[in-house]
């Protein structure tokens, strides 16, 4: 039986900036990154439908979890914010220097009608506010049937 899963990630993004410098400045290895102009990898099915290549429109540095079975988004949020929580000043300097934006993404895939708690505590909200990060929350409810 499929279980409800949660993925959380922080993204620092903008036109073009040096990923290696951001990584060194933060002292945190990104879980993903891309550069403006990189080819967007597509699944085989998508490639069959569209032969045209698509390219990244911006550069991004991301720190995130994989999808994890969870009924409390706070667990995944804490995993991401722990290595960043004392880096607000550095993040703000990078944002100013390279004209970057940042967001915190929460992606929830609900299975069998099981919904996780979506509670953000004061510490999480204060950190997001200190770097002027917006929250982007995506909810996917897979169909389910009662027996």
Dihedral sign (CA 34, 91, 131, 15): negative
Q: Give the pLDDT score at 37.
A: 84
Task: With respect to residue 110, please indicate whether it lies within any of the assigned structural domains.
Answer: yes
Please tell me the pTM assigned to this model.
0.87
Q: Give the pLDDT score at 11.
A: 98
Q: Is the pLDDT of residue 26 over 90?
A: yes
Q: Residue 82: name the closest of 32, 26, 34 by CA.
A: 26
Helix axes 73-81, 122-130, angle to 10 degrees: 40
Confidence category of residue 44, pLDDT binned at 50, 70, 90? low
Nearest 10 degrees: CA dihedral of 64, 69, 74, 77? 0
Task: With respect to residue 40, please indicate whether it lies within any of the assigned structural domains.
Answer: yes
Q: Residue 65: name the closest of 12, 119, 105, 125 by CA.
A: 105
pLDDT (tens digit per residue) in 125-147: 999 999 999 999 999 998 766 55
Cα separation, 39 vs 98, in Å, equals: 22
Task: With respect to residue 146, please indicate whether it lies within any of the assigned structural domains.
Answer: no
Number of domains in the chain: 1
pLDDT (tens digit per residue) in 50-93: 567 888 899 999 999 999 999 999 999 999 999 999 999 999 99
Angle at CA 106, nearest 5°, toward 115 and 4? 30
Task: With respect to residue 20, please indicate whether it lies within any of the assigned structural domains.
Answer: yes
Task: With respect to residue 16, please indicate whether it lies within any of the assigned structural domains.
Answer: yes
């Amino acid at each position: 039986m499929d279980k409800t899963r949660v993925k959380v990630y922080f993204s620092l993004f903008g036109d073009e900036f040096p990923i290696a410098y951001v990584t060194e400045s933060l002292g945190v290895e990104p879980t993903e990154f891309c550069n403006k102009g990189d080819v967007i990898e597509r699944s085989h099915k998508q490639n069959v439908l569209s032969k045209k290549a698509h390219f990244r429109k911006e550069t991004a540095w991301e720190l995130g979890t994989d999808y994890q079975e969870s009924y409390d988004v706070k667990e995944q949020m804490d995993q991401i914010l722990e290595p960043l929580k004392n880096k607000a000043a550095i993040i703000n300097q990078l944002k100013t220097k390279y004209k970057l934006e940042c967001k915190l993404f929460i992606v929830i895939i609900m299975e069998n009608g099981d919904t996780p708690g979506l509670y953000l505590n004061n510490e999480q909200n204060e950190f997001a506010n200190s770097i002027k990060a917006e929250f982007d929350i995506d909810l996917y409810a897979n169909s389910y049937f009662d027996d």
